[in-house]
Amino acid sequence: MEKEVVERFLRYVVQDTRSNPDSNESPSSDGQKRFGNHLAEELVRLGLSDITVDWNGYVMATLPSNMEVDLPVVGFVAHMDTSPECSGSNVRPRIVTDYQGEDIVLHPANQRTLSPQRFPELLKYKGQSLIVTDGTTLLGADDKAGVAEIVTAMEYLQQHPEIKHGKVRIAFTPDEEISRGADHFYVPAFGASFAYTVDGGEIGELQYENFNAASAHIVFHGANVHPGSAKNKMRNSLLMATSYVQALPSLEVPEHTEGYQGFFHLVKMEGRVDHTKLEFIIRDFDRTRFEGRKQLLQTGIDAINRQFGEGTAEIHLLDQYYNMKEKILPVMHIVDIAKKAMTACGIEPIVVPVRGGTDGSRLSYMGLPCPNLFTGGHNFHGEYEFIPVQSMAAACHVIVSIIREVATFTT
């Protein structure tokens, strides 16, 4: 499946499918609509059935069972959009064959180099082929690698009818990168007993824990007076905002945390003397600590209002998704299936928490338990993104292996 998945992936990544957080449409960009329609046409050619593209851009299809017994319906889900954080237009991927640990110059003019000194994980892939960017855009492995791997696995099963399997459902979602990937996902129409998102990182990753996530939009209202006569009159909202940020735990930020550690992340700050806005994201694996983080943000706002008067500061907190672990623990056999499937493919499962979220985190709370599988990619959302060819092929084999494993439920 290696040749097929690479060719498919290279066709997919040249399509610009960046999601747009400023749009209220679903999908949020025309590129996703075009890509979804392209995928539907491809699935028709591959002979899948029940192919739909709904009003909101969700693509679903069925690989029919070739067995005469009832089996659980397993699903596989990937997202079509790429991150708006980096350009996804005019993506020019290239393949570095037989990588031997050297620096890879991505773009000489802007001095972007993929180096093992900065990215030591490169050394794991000596002797392999790497797909890299040209240093000016992201690659799009998040999550077009997942899309390509699912489609390639379906093609393989169509070409090998001797492999017995039950009914398989696949879905490709829009706008995952802007936290809307499950907004319009109709779980009953999907009809799977459980599913796997194919949206993880390096080969072997298997994830059933993710952050609890919220956003915070904060506004400080100041008062601007000519600085020459401002004593006891001016209220500088920029200084209020600065003081507010500095009161938060300084080491509980993304650049100082790892593993199960949560954080506050200031993602945007803009303003002037009379009006300043902050945007945060809040993340934590533990639900109690997560609620405590939100309360700490609220406490700071309350303190500002006590000092300067009610209404000086406002906060709007919005929960985005929760740790899927709570919904996966009662059905841990689906994680065991994935572990067994990886082992059968000669891959050591790496069970790690997702320091982020996937569509699966929300789908799990919508009644579709949905752990996350690796795609093979690294350094998502930027110009240093890369993916080993052999890892992509391995992901295809794991998908097939999971389907074969589910078919053994009859014995």
> What span, in angstroms and rounded, lies between the C-alpha atoms of 371 and 361?
8
Angle 287-308/237-246 helices, nearest 10 degrees? Answer: 150
Paired tokens of 406: 């589910």
Query: What angle (nearest 5°) sits at the alpha carbon of residue 286, between those of residues 282 and 287?
Result: 75
| Residues 14, 91 contacting (CB under 8 angstroms) | yes
176 is catalytic: yes
81 is catalytic: yes
> What span, in angstroms and rounded, lies between the C-alpha atoms of 84 and 19?
6
> What span, in angstroms and rounded, lies between the C-alpha atoms of 375 and 146?
6
> What span, in angstroms and rounded, lies between the C-alpha atoms of 77 and 94?
26
> What span, in angstroms and rounded, lies between the C-alpha atoms of 293 and 263?
8
**Which of 42, 175, 176, 205 is labelled catalytic?**
176
Host H or E run for residue 290: helix 287-308
Q: What are phi and psi of 234, to 5 degrees?
A: -70, 140
Could you tell me the CA-to-CA distances from 369 to 58, 67, 312, 350 in Å, in that order?
A: 19, 24, 43, 19
**Which of 16, 81, 149, 205 is labelled catalytic?**
81
Find the Cα–Cα–Cα–Cα dihedral 144, 1, 206, 262, rounded to 10°.
-30
Task: Render 24-67 in DSSP notation, one character per residue.
Answer: -SSSSSHHHHHHHHHHHHHHHHHT-EEEEE-TT--EEEEE---S
Q: Which residues are catalytic, by number?
A: 81, 176
